[in-house]
Structure 1
């Protein structure tokens, strides 16, 4: 692994640590890790979010509802040139604030997600693509499945 690939992994890990910390998940706290023209793509899970800062803000809102949400394991972490890919397992309980009008169910869920990142020559994130097992999570939490199965317009 090259020195730049190792640095890219550290940037991605820091971004994920901030995004999964209910006290720090915000656009302000990830701004130093992302390029100004970055893109976020997650059409089936966060269709209205288009950059990494907005994702951190939105994930912070989610964590107010699933207030014990955490990554339990990084299953795979691979870097090649300017790209980093990771797959991880997470869990959490809907014991916090209502989520999009859904009162706390008290139910716990476990799910997996994959994240693909691209970084520029300065080591800033330019692209983050996220795939997440939202349907499984929603089922376990007792959320309305219509929301999890909406097909976004492309």
Structure 2
């Protein structure tokens, strides 16, 4: 798998490096805060979602920055174009039950679609899931859920 990741990174010219402490960063600290933040931004400020996804990706896989810290997430928000006030509001909202429930709902849907362990796009054609997941986005598809 690690060799595949290096090859994909090189082929697509996307900077990538493995985490220095994968066990601690993924299993002890986790990424729930970042997932909740993305869930909130997807709903409340969708125009900033792609930028925030890029910033969080870079923090994890390029710069090896801890995304479990509020300071890091605030910096990602601001780099993605959210104001200081919007960033603070978003970080305050990630602990609200409604955001937690929305993330659970998205996670349940991902499980239903048999997504496992990788960044995945769920493609819908004519508003319906086609029974497959993949990492390519085709223009002909009418909607996209990012999980």
Give the TM-score normalised by structure 2: 0.28
Give the TM-score normalised by structure 1: 0.27
Structure with bigger RCO (C-alpha 8 Å, 6+ apart): 1
Flag the structure with higher strand content: 1
